[in-house]
Structure 1
Amino acid sequence: MHDEVTRHAAGIRERVIVFLAFLTSEACRDAFRTHVAQPDWAATLCRIWFDEVYVPGTQYLEDGLKGDRSAAALRAFEAAFTPEERAMLERFHGCLELRLDLLANRQHGRARFPDNDSWRRILHDARALLHELEPNPERIQALLAALLSQPGGRSLPLPWDAG
């Protein structure tokens, strides 16, 4: 039983690290843009964080809140990180959550993050968090970029496909 919990916690940790590596890699974001038809690729990435990656947060849907996670999912997430790492994750989540108004702002067209200070701040904070969680994030980013650049990359398992 303990081994199963440990494996599950390792999977959760890996999902967070892979997502952050993906988000902070320009090559990965460029490849993602080619696979996402709609122009709101940044909003899509943020929804992945809220709905698939950051378990303690509330899930979001297109039209509002989905609800809280189960207590078991929260315990598993907490087991994957030290208290200090959980505090850093919570700060990043809060930073991202504060910028959700940009996702909902439809007066400038589709919901997306423009290339502005808010988006650059999200990427900066994601990089800082990634470097705290993973000593060699460049290795993961290079692997992701190489996988995404292969023909048929759309069928590759991407961060949101992790189960």
Structure 2
Amino acid sequence: MSRRHRIVTVAALACVPLVLFGLGYGVGFRINLTPSYPLGVWRIEILNRDVRVGDRIFICPPLTETFRQARKRGYVRRGLCPGWLSPLIKTVVAVPGQSVEVGTSVAIDGLALPQSAVQPRDGSGRKLTPYPGVVVPPDALFLLSTFRGSYDSRYFGPIPAAGILGLAKPVFTFAP
């Protein structure tokens, strides 16, 4: 085998993962590398109905100063949402019109949510400021993950429902 043939073969083989990634991305597959939900391959399923409490969704965060700071702190990774932010996988816990209270944990319409403790500091010891609570405004959602270290609406508040990409469905996942 000639040197040129070997170079072309190696280059072609090196491109295979990129092509597979591109094809998977185009049909809605995503890789989750954060511990808020199981690690692994997830799929974005088109949402052909109104979002409901309990839906686990992929959502692009809004391009706000809060999320710019979250990106700098490493809470949100780089991705293909506006501002080059990564989509979040979160569970919808409150929809427009519902009352959210954030104290030492989260309560929706007066009912405390299990596994919703508010942390005073992040994993690096930096102070976290909880969102004070609100009635969820029209066209917004309050999102949560039961993972103790999750960066979610406990800290950034409701976000626009317009950022929903679809339902988050696990394909091949595992708990770390």
Normalized against structure 1, the TM-score is what? Answer: 0.29
Structure ranking higher in helix proportion: 1
Normalized against structure 2, the TM-score is what? Answer: 0.27
Structure ranking higher in strand proportion: 2
**Which gives a bigger RCO, structure 1 or 2 (Cα 8 Å, sep 6+)?**
1
